Amino acid sequence: MRDVERSYNPAGEARQAAAALFTASEDRRSKLKTIKVPTVVIHGADDPIVPVEAGRDVAANITGADLRIIPGMGHNLPTSLVTTVAEAIASAASRASGVTAPH
């Protein structure tokens, strides 16, 4: 929770949007296929900006990726879903170290 509150940065959001526009025409599938670490792809089921199919496509192009489509999540991270997202990240991290993720 502290990290979420600490990282609120409207200027950063503008930079992210500009970066997305800059790379939108580039097909990154070949680069995604080179990822060799445990990966979780998190996508909001109710994302009004990026279609869920885009998250599915990303996960399909990363060998062994864990796709988590989160009901009730849009293109943001509501406080109520911080634990859900953190658990998904911990699960992927535990696959890298061989340690079981806490529940």
Structural domain count, the chain: 1
- The enclosing H or E element of 83 equals helix 82-97
Q: Report the C-alpha gap between 52 and 29 in whole angstroms.
A: 16
Predicted confidence (pLDDT) per residue in 41-53, tens digit: 999 999 998 899 9
Within a domain: residue 65?
yes
Residue type, 7: S
The domain in which residue 62 lies consists of 28-97
Rounded-to-integer distance, Cα 43 and Cα 53, Å: 9
Provide the pLDDT for residue 4. Answer: 63
- Which residues in the chain show pLDDT less than 70? 1, 3-4, 6, 22-25, 97-103
Asked whether residue 3 is assigned to any structural domain, the reply reads no
Nearest to 55 by CA among 66, 87, 63, 18: 66
The verdict on residue 37 lying in a domain is yes
Q: What is the pLDDT of residue 26?
A: 75
Classify residue 23: in a domain, yes or no: no
- For residues 73 and 83, the answer to whether their CB atoms sit within 8 Å is no
What is the gyration radius of the CA atoms in the chain, in angstroms? 15
